[in-house]
Amino acid sequence: MSSLSEQTQLSDPNESDESQPAEGFILDHQVQHLLRRAHQRASSIFLTVLADAQLTPTQFFAMARLHETGKLSQNRLGRMAAMDPATIQGVIRRLQERGFIVRLPDPNDRRRMVLSLSPLGQETVSSMLTDARRIGGEILAPLDPEERETFMSLLKKLV
């Protein structure tokens, strides 16, 4: 069985290969494919942080955003965590069922509810932040410091 790094080696763009398609489409050179693979790698590394808490990345990101900002409406949280309405609704439902999030009446609009981390949610997120920061370093480990800065700048431009 080959190692993960051997399985994920990209072909050399300068290497002549008779099996390359005549149309010039080489999957390993396509940005969408490379971004998908980078996402898979980042998710795999990040899941090691989430394993003990049994959280999905989207659940953790919603909780982390509430940790950063405090109380938010469900709609605003979804937008700030880059989730569509159906996704954020399911995420919030599951987090509320597990006692990580509470719904409170909005003091400015009685028709609306706001979300907040419960004490358990606050404790859970706080205990995970150091590992989450470390994981960012692991994800970017193949890059030198200057490349990391450039990569992050370019990535922010794309999103």
Q: Tell me the per-residue pLDDT of 72-83, one tens digit each, with 9 for 90 and over.
A: 999 999 999 999
37-41, 97-101, 134-138: segment of lowest average pLDDT: 134-138
Classify strands 101-106 and 109-117 as parallel, antiparallel or unpaired: antiparallel
On whether the CB atoms of residues 37 and 10 are closer than 8 A, the answer is no
* pLDDT tens column, 60-75: 999 999 999 999 999 9
Tens-digit pLDDT profile for residues 22-45: 588 899 889 999 999 999 999 898
Q: Which region among 43-57, 121-135, 136-150 has the lowest average model confidence (pLDDT)?
A: 43-57
To the nearest 10°, report the CA torsion of 152, 127, 122, 48: 60
The 3-state DSSP class for residue 111 equals strand
The confidence score (pLDDT) of residue 1 equals: 40
Sign of CA dihedral 59, 60, 65, 71: positive
Domain architecture of the chain: domains with CATH? 28-158 (1.10.10.10)
Contacts of 124 (CB under 8 A, 6+ apart): 53, 55, 63, 100
pTM tops 0.85: no
User: What pLDDT is attached to residue 93?
Assistant: 96
Q: What would the DSSP string read from start to end of 57-110?
A: HHHHHHHHHHHHH-SB-HHHHHHHTT--HHHHHHHHHHHHHTTSEEEEEETTEE
